[in-house]
Amino acid sequence: MIKYSFYKKNNIYYVQLYLFGKRVQKSTGATNKRDAERFTRIFLAEQLQNQESESTLNFSSLIEKWVKHARMNKKSFMADIHRISVIKDFFGESTPVEKIGPNKVQEFVYHLSTMKSRRGTPLSRATINRYIALLKVIFNHSIRMGIIDTNPVRVRSYKETPRKKYYSEEELKRLLTTVDYLHQNARTLLQYTFRYVFLTALLTGMRLSEIINLKWDDLKDGTFYIYNNKEAVEKFVPVPEFLKKVLFELKKEDSVFVIPMVRRKSDAIRNTWNHVKKLAQVEGRFHDLRRTYAVELMKNNVSTRVIQSLLGHQDIKTTQIYTPTNLMLNKQAVETLRLPSYEKTKKASDSKLKNNHSKAPRKRKSKN
């Protein structure tokens, strides 16, 4: 059912609605709402009939309309490109949208469970959930644009297996040793500069995309001023003195970017990161360095509000995900508990407790 609304102008009713992805405003020529309703029903019937006679909307057209919207409005659009190709391959580009129902979507989820990742392992529940969410977003966008009426994506997301999202002190020691070794025995420019990428991530909590695009002009009074980030707002990242000295090892007169690279692409750095992890015998993602930064601040009693500001999060709930309560921190918390000072009795006979204790009624044994 296509939704529409009316407004009056010069005592004439006008109808406004979204039809086939376009906003339509049209005069009904009626001076009362009943006639305006009748005009609109006839108008819609004619338009739908004409659309059906021209062609049936296929799935590829639906995808293309969403891609145009997402390319302009979604910051993480590039991460969806591979998922879109997988979705199109399964459903078929020429498949009529009306043929895609809840059963077909469920088949797609089963298909995902049989797929392998680039590392040759089955797709995780979290990855499958990303596909489900993307498919749901595509259909919801089409509903808002008045292209379709219902969303066939009704499957529930999988319950994701929680994983450790930050590095322990021992893991950090191994990573630092490996990064230094790679720096001193570098065979490529990226292996040499990865040390600076790693330390910047660990000591500022910046995202990889932000580190790659850091410019010397962004550094003012010991603080990086960054605008082009995920939240699309300017944020301020203080730089520790130690890190500032390390980064200035790279500065030259004609330097524009802080960290020199042949290819300013995140995939090249992730390949080096995977090599570092393998040598250090550590599991995890590069993004977990950002989470480690947050956890280390929390260990040092930095408030969640301050951590939120440093990470540049819009919502404090996101920060709370980055700073989970864990067993080690719980143990540290309970060790801070102390009993209040009180007067200890040297001899029980010297205390009034003895008299009160003797007068206390004793529990009678029940007779069986």
**pLDDT tens sequence across 70-114:** 888 776 777 788 899 999 999 988 888 888 999 999 999 999 999
The pair of three-digit structure tokens given for residue 189, joined into one six-digit string: 């420019």
Q: What is the pLDDT of residue 228?
A: 52
Residue 140's CB: how many other CB atoms inside 10 A?
Answer: 14
- Bigger pLDDT: 362 or 77? 77
Whole-number percent of the chain with pLDDT over 70? 81
Query: DSSP labels for 19-46?
Result: ETTEEEEEE---SSHHHHHHHHHHHHHH
**Nearest Cα residue to 292 out of 203, 176, 214:** 203
Give residue 366's Cα distance to chain centre. Answer: 64
Average pLDDT over residues 270-274: 91
C-alpha 241/C-alpha 235 separation (Å) is 19
Q: Is the pLDDT of residue 177 over 90?
A: yes
Of the listed ranges 128-137, 235-244, 312-321, the one predicted with least confidence? 312-321
Please tell me the predicted confidence (pLDDT) of residue 26: 87
pLDDT at position 74 is 76
Sign, Cα dihedral of 181, 182, 185, 189: negative
pLDDT in tens, 160-169: 766 668 898 8
Q: What is the mean pLDDT of the chain?
A: 82
pLDDT digits (tens, 9 = 90+) for 292-304: 998 888 888 888 7
Given a cut of 60, is residue 357 above it in pLDDT? Answer: no
**Paired residues of 15 in beta bridges:** 6, 26
Q: What pLDDT is recorded for position 327?
A: 53
Q: Is the dihedral of CA 255, 258, 262, 265 positive or negative?
A: negative
Q: How far apart are CA 312 and CA 318, in angstroms?
A: 10
Is residue 133 within 8 Å of residue 88, measured between CB atoms?
no
